[in-house]
Every structure is written in structure tokens, then in C-alpha cells.
Amino acid sequence: MGCLAAVNDDILQNILSRLPALSFASAACVSKSWNKVCDRVLSRPKLVSALSLNPSLPDAVKEVLEKVLSSPIRPQFAIASIGLQFSLEEAHQLITEKLGSRTPVITNATFGIIGRDALTNTMKEVRWNFDPEEDNSNSQGSDAASNFNRGIVLIVGFLPGLKVDTVPLLRPKREPRFTMIDKFMMDIRDYTASVSGCIAPAGIILFGDQHTDLTPVLAEIDCAMPEETVIVGDASCRFLFRSGGNSQSSITDLYYFDAVALVFAGDKDKPHGIGETRFHVTLSTGVMPFGPELRAVSVTAKGSECSWLTACMNGYDEILDSQRLLDDISDEMDDESTDLYIGVIQKRPSSIEPEKLELRTYLAFYEVLGGDEEYLVVDGVGIRPGDTFLFYHSDSDTASSSCLNAFENLKVLKAASSSKTRYSIRDAAAGGGGSNDEVFGGLMFSCHYRGESYFDSFPFYSNFPGAPLAGVVCNREIGRDSTGSSTSMWQQAKGESPARCSLHVCTTVFLVLSFVPPSADH
């Protein structure tokens, strides 16, 4: 032990920095001096991620865990996204057992995964079709069919200076039609205040149940949270979660989980000299508005699944023949596989702050399912008579152009990482300066309708080839965009100020994490 004590701290730090995570954790418990050296090794934030397409769930989980835990890290949170053919319960159990009881973990089932392969370190972007026969139409043998929709991407993070935990959106089993949005907002505020002394977190990653409409929830979050709070996620999936040390058994018996938020809040006990972790969001959209502005005249909701509405041109009273309208649209479309939506402007008061008389304006997307001579049928509910809307269609040219815009936005952060110039994505949109951020990782949420015609991860990995990236292919992507790029289409179409939009279609949402080193005085 005397020889070990004589080892120079720099040499010891070099040795400890090469240890895998579990050995590193043990080394931190040897003595106070070793613990201090370990703190220096992890003085900066760190993200690690890995992807596996191994068709065996235990083997796939083993591959990604071995990769992400192959170097020092103290896991503060983990997000695992798996193929639909894997068991969600088994995957969640395997991961939570390995990461320890105090690490918040969210496991979700998804339509595809994005990241670097755990074995080859090559960047992969995998999108699974809904039909296994479709997915393997060009494959040979039963092996390919059995591998359909099997894979996992895991991201683990350590963010010194931040506290992280999960907050669920509850729905009472005794009153299943009542989602507790007000409690959800209060729980986020209470957790944030308890760890940071503030009421607004730095960021929220949200996962919604596939049977829950998160549109009103996101509207309330957008109203309650300041512009600086970043919000991203997957609005329609199956998920399981574990909080950071709190028992869930008592609430599982009484409530359904309509969503879960991974909340990132500042640490009020953060030591001096740690630096700052920042969240940046940029979007690549793939839909284009077209046609005249229409107005909903009557709306009939069929349960919580779809809405039947009659419509007229805004400013006129004649009810349109919806079937003829859709036929005309179909004749104009070059591509029969084009997806069709309506983008509805909704002006609503706050449901959790009804005393505020001011109406808030949001843009909500609904997929068009069909129609007849009188009614237009769309997926989802929430439209009211008097709401105005435009038709939108998926568009590959818009997606490609928007992908290049996202690349240019992230290029701003790349410039900041390699120089002393102070920039950020928000500042770039405003034409001003920002901070000397060092990008250390990212997440992306990409719509499965965008197809495989180009690499969605290109804007990130081209700018930050060495930074970890994990992504999911989802059905409805969440992205609160501070630059306004997601609502500029409506602004251009109507000539009005843009409506807020946090729930998107045919869009890729990039969440980029950067680190601002402490100032020289520290």
C-alpha cells in the first residue's frame, strides 16, 4: 500500500481512466484520495452509446452493455430502444439489473434504431417495416425472417452539475378517462425545485404511450415551461421505466402510465469548477403545406381514435365534398405513397391555468384516413368547429432541403467546438453570439414515414464524427423548436405569426448536448 500511495496522482489518473466502469467504481471506494482522482477523471459530462442487431435479446443486451461500460462512467440515466419483436419486459429487466438500483432507466419499443454498432463501431440506421414479409422480400431463408424487428440501441449518460430522474404522467384506474396533467406538471416543478431551487428544468425527454394523445399535454408543458427548457421525445410507443431509487409498486396498482418524462434539472449542490451542460434542438421536417385555407364546420369524435368533420373554405359557408376534394388531391400528387395530413390551428385556453384569459395558438397535425361526400376522416381527436387548417403532404425534396438546414445549424456548434468563437443554434437563428460549447453527444427521434432514401443521422455524424449518437425511429416525434423552423411553413402559408408546434410528423428531431468549460477563475 505504501508503494501505491507514492504513485503520482497524474499516473494514477491515467491508470484509472482506462478501467471499465465497474472496476472504476470499485477503485473510487479504495480511499478518499483515489475517490478524488476518480472525480477528476469524470469532471466532464459523458455520453456513451452502442447498437446491436444480434437476434438474441440476452446477447444483444450483453453486447451494448459491455460497450457502454467499457470505460469509466457513473450512470445517471439510461435509455434503451428495442425492436418490436423483442420482449419489452425482459429487455428492461436485463438492463436495470446491470445498471444498479439508483439509475433512472427508460426502455421503449420502436420502429427502428440508429447508432454505432457495438462490435464494428460502424454507423447504422435501421428502419423496420411493419410487415416482416415486406421487410424480408429481398432476403433469403428463414434466418432473415426470424431477425425481423430485432435490435437494440442503448445510451447512458453522466452529466455532472445536473440531476436526472423520471416523472410519470398518471391516469387513475378508477377514472380511466381522466389524465392527471396538472399533477404531472406539478411533479416536474416539485422535483426540479427540490434539486435545483428553480421551477423549470433544463431539459425533458418524453415518451408517450401509443394509446394516449399527448397533444394537450405538450400544449400545457409548452405554456408552463420557459423557452430555455428543451423538450424532445417519442409520443407514441410502448415503454417501461424505473425511477432513481423511488418505489413504483404503490402507484402501479392505482394508475396507468400515459407518459414518462426524463427530467434534467440543475444541481443546487453543484461544486465550483464543474462547467455547464447545455441542450440544443434542431429539426428536419418532411411535410409541405398546399391548397387553400379551410375551416372545420362540424366535428364528430369517434371515441379517442378519429374525427369526422365537415369543412368549407375559410370565408365561405358552402360545405365541401370531401371525397371529391381528396380525389383532386390524389390526381395532383405524383407519388401514390405520399402521406396526407391536415395541419390545424388550435386556439385554446390553458386547462391547468383557466384564470388566464389569453388563448394560445398551436399547430396540430392529423393524418387523413379518408372521406365521403360529406365528411373528412382524420386520425385523432381535439379538433373543434371554427378551427382553420391546411393540407400537408410528405415531400422528399422538403425533407432533403430541411436535412441540409439541420446540418448547417449543427455546423454552428461545430465551429464553436473548434474555436473560441461563441455561438449556439439559437444564436445562429437570431444572428447573434452564444458560447464556446464543446459537443459531446446527441440523440435523435426520426419519423418512420421518412423512409430510407437518405441517411437521417447525416447532419449530426458529419459535424461530430467522434461524438456518441443514439436514435430511435418513431411514429410521432416530439421537438420543441426554439428557432421556429417547424412553424415557419404555416407562417409562410398564412402570412401570420407562427403557431407553436411540439408534436410533429415526417420530421427528425436532433437533441445535441454540449459542455461549456468553467471559467478561468475556477
What CA–CA distance (Å, rounded) separates 485 from 259? 26
pLDDT digits (tens, 9 = 90+) for 80-91: 999 999 999 999
Please tell me the distance from the alpha carbon of residue 207 to that of residue 193, in angstroms, as a whole number. Answer: 22
Q: How far is CA 282 from CA 147, 408, 513, in A?
A: 33, 10, 12
CATH architecture of structural domain 287-394: Beta Barrel (2.40)
Mean per-residue pLDDT, 368-376:
92
| DSSP for residue 498 | P
Q: For residues 50 and 80, give the distance between their C-alpha atoms in angstroms, rounded to a whole number.
A: 10
Please say if the pLDDT value at position 395 is more than 70.
Answer: yes
Q: Which residue has the higher pLDDT, 137 or 195?
A: 195
Q: Check residues 346 and 354 and name the one with the higher pLDDT.
A: 346
With beta carbons less than 8 A apart as the criterion, state whether 128 and 53 touch.
no
Q: How far apart are CA 209 and CA 146, in angstroms?
A: 27
Q: What is the pLDDT of residue 305?
A: 81
pLDDT at 394: 87
The average confidence (pLDDT) of the chain is 85
Written as one string, the DSSP assignment of 381-418 is: ----TT-EEEEEEE-HHHHHHHHHHHHHHHHHHHHHHT
Question: Which has the minimum average pLDDT: 42-46, 375-379, 410-414?
Answer: 410-414
Contacts of 433 by beta carbon, 8 Å cutoff, 6+ apart? 421, 422, 423, 427
Higher confidence at residue 409 or residue 239? 239
Q: Comparing 137 with 27, which gets the higher pLDDT?
A: 27
Q: Give the Cα separation of 336 and 393 in Å (integer).
A: 11
Q: Give which of 134, 236, 153, 259 is closest to 474, Cα–Cα.
A: 236
Band of pLDDT at residue 425, cut at 50, 70 and 90: low
Supply the pLDDT for residue 430: 44
Q: Is the pLDDT of residue 507 over 60?
A: yes
In whole angstroms, what is the distance from residue 320 CA to residue 291 CA? 14
The more confident residue out of 289 and 418 is 289
Q: pLDDT above 70 covers what percent of the chain? A: 82
Q: How confident is the model at residue 451 (pLDDT cuts 50, 70, 90)?
A: low
pLDDT tens column, 123-135? 999 988 654 444 4
CA dihedral (260, 264, 267, 271) positive or negative: positive
Q: Which three cell numbers stand for residue 4?
A: 501505491
pLDDT at 250: 66
Q: Are 363 and 341 in contact (CB under 8 A)?
A: no
Give residue 356's pLDDT.
Answer: 60
Confidence of residue 431 (pLDDT cuts 50, 70, 90): very low
Query: What is the DSSP track for 368-383?
Result: EEEE-SS-EEEES---
Q: Distance between CA atoms of 113 and 119, rounded to whole angstroms?
A: 16
Cell digits for 440? 459531446
Picking from 320, 455, 454, 472, the residue whose alpha carbon sits closest to that of residue 389 is 320
At 7 the pLDDT is: 59
Helical H segments across 53-180, by residue range: 57-68, 88-99, 132-135, 141-146
Per-residue pLDDT for 454 more than 80?
Answer: no
Residue 439: what pLDDT?
93
Alpha-carbon distance of 445 to 500, in angstroms, equals 19
Say yes or no to pLDDT of 186 above 80: yes
Distance, in Å, from the CA atom of 62 to the CA atom of 54, rounded to the nearest integer, reads 10
Distance CA 262, CA 158 (A): 14
% of residues, the chain, pLDDT over 90: 52
> What pLDDT is attached to residue 418?
59
Q: What is the mean pLDDT of residues 345-356?
A: 70
Instruction: Give the pLDDT score at 309.
Output: 96
pLDDT band at 166 (very low <50, low <70, confident <90, very high): very high
Q: In the structure grid, which three cell numbers stand for residue 62, read together?
A: 450483453
Mean pLDDT computed over 325-331: 89
Strands annotated E in 159-202: 162-172
pLDDT of residue 357: 58
Least confident interval from 117-126, 282-291, 449-458:
449-458
Residue 139's pLDDT is 41
Q: In this predicted structure, which of 203-207, 243-247, 286-290 has the lowest mean pLDDT?
A: 243-247
Distance CA 53, CA 442 (A): 21
Beta strands 287-302 and 360-371: pairing type? unpaired
- The structural domains of the chain, with segments of one domain joined by +, span 1-42, 44-128+148-286+408-420+435-521, 287-394
Confidence of residue 183 (pLDDT cuts 50, 70, 90): very high
Higher pLDDT, 282 or 419: 282
CA 405, distance to chain mean position in Å, is 19
Q: Which residues contact 147 (CB under 8 A, 6 or more apart)?
A: 53, 55
List of residues 6+ apart from 217 with CB closer than 8 A: 169, 179, 181, 184, 208, 258, 259
| Cα–Cα distance for residue pair 480/482, rounded to 1 Å | 6
Q: Which helix (H) or strand (E) holds 3?
A: helix 2-6
| pLDDT at 3 exceeding the cut of 60 | no
Q: Is the pLDDT confidence value at 495 over 60?
A: no
Say how far apart CA 495 and CA 489 lie, in whole Å: 10
Cα diameter, the chain: 92
> Tell me: the pLDDT tens digits for 280-319?
999 998 899 998 999 999 999 987 789 999 999 998 999 9
